[in-house]
Amino acid sequence: MTTLLQQLVYGLILGGTVGLIALGYTMVYGIVQLINFAHGEIFMVGAFGALATFTWVIPEGVKGTWYITLPLMVIAGAVVSMVIALIIERLAYKPLRNAPRLAPLITALGVSVALKEAVRIWYPGATAPLPFPKEFLTGSIELGSILIPKTGLLIIVVAVVLTVLLQVYINTSRMGRAMRATAQDPDTARLMGINPDRTIVLTFAIGAVLAGVAGVLYGVHINNISIDIGFQNGIFAFTAAVLGGIGSIRGAVIGGFVIGLVKTIAGQYFPGGTQYDYVWIFVVLIAVLVFRPQGLFGETERVRA
């Protein structure tokens, strides 16, 4: 029983990370019908941005003070992710706005490779995994016999809070309405006076900020980062977005938690253990798609006239 509960905790932590990344996949798909395969690398870049800030920007004296260091790193990670994502959108995706869908998709794959290699080449020491600072926020909260790492709890709380804030923003704000309108019917949105470019840029920016925050918190929790974390978590997050119903905010985060839980539970109890835990993620994905092709919370796609 203790083992099960403990695994559930780990599952939720992984789920929070995956869910935060999945939001970016689902939002961008909802508005431009692009699976942005570079989005996992945006998460990775955020973690490296925060590490660079810690290493070279934050003064020695305050590095151990977590309540100063951590917020600075989170902000730095979010900003780096956002800037990179907006540059990519402008240079790689925008020129292909009216191209057949396959073109931006393949471009996204190319961008993802380019980002990863850029970090490998230009970030000092990134050819091997790098230690992520752990001076702050160490230890766990004991709940009966199970341990909840403080950094893990932070990920879960941040994931839930940001998702709720995002939902409220999209459902009630003027720009949120513009985003939903553009997603539902881009031409009619333009007839309302909505500038599609601005809406798309905002969507990429929000997705990137969420991924950047996730990258920093992931680093703080795992204590080391490498250029491979983007691909690995990106695939989980993409799967989570599809599982939850691509285009759905709620679906992405719930999909993230489902994947986190499936991976840890399967790793503990299923034959093959952690060697085969990936397999079970995709088994669940396939099972869901067989019975609900639009995903858990997705809307059935309607063909426009």
Partner 1 sequence: MSPLLEVRNLSVAYGAIEAVRDISFSVEEGQIVSLIGANGAGKTTTLRTISGLLRPTRGEVLFRGRPIHRQAAHEILASGIAHCPEGRRLFGRMTVEENLQLGAYVRNDTGIEADMQRVYELFPVLGERRQNKAGLFSGGEQQMLAIGRAMMSKPKLLMLDEPSMGLSPIMTQRIFDTIKELQADGTTILLVEQNALAALALSDRGYVIDLGSTTLEGPGLDLLADQRVRAAYLGEG
Would you tell me which residues interact with partner 1 (CB under 8 A)?
Answer: 174, 177-178, 180-181, 184-185, 187-196, 299, 305
Q: What is the 8-class DSSP label of residue 303? A: -
Strands 130-131 and 146-149: unpaired
Rounded least distance, CB 305 to partner 1, Å: 6
Rounded least distance, CB 30 to partner 1, Å: 12
CA distance 225 to 219: 6
Residue (55 or 195) nearer to partner 1, CB: 195
Residue (197 or 228) nearer to partner 1, CB: 197
Could you tell me where the DSSP H helices lie in the chain?
2-32, 39-52, 66-88, 102-122, 150-172, 174-184, 186-191, 196-222, 229-244, 249-269, 277-291
Place of tokens 């909505």: 194
Residue (160 or 202) nearer to partner 1, CB: 202
Residue (167 or 224) nearer to partner 1, CB: 167
Angle at 218 between CA 216 and CA 219, to 5 degrees: 65
Rounded least distance, CB 183 to partner 1, Å: 9
Residue (129 or 176) nearer to partner 1, CB: 176
Residue whose C-alpha is closest to residue 46's, from 75, 8, 24? 75
Rounded least distance, CB 198 to partner 1, Å: 9
Rounded least distance, CB 85 to partner 1, Å: 23
Crossing angle of helices 150-172 and 249-269, rounded to 10°: 160
160: which residues sit within 8 A by CB, 6+ positions away? Answer: 16, 253
Rounded least distance, CB 170 to partner 1, Å: 12
Residue (194 or 241) nearer to partner 1, CB: 194
Three-state DSSP class for residue 141: strand
Rounded least distance, CB 206 to partner 1, Å: 19
End-to-end CA distance of the chain: 55
Residue (117 or 185) nearer to partner 1, CB: 185
CA distance 204 to 89: 8
Place of tokens 């949120």: 176
CA distance 257 to 17: 9
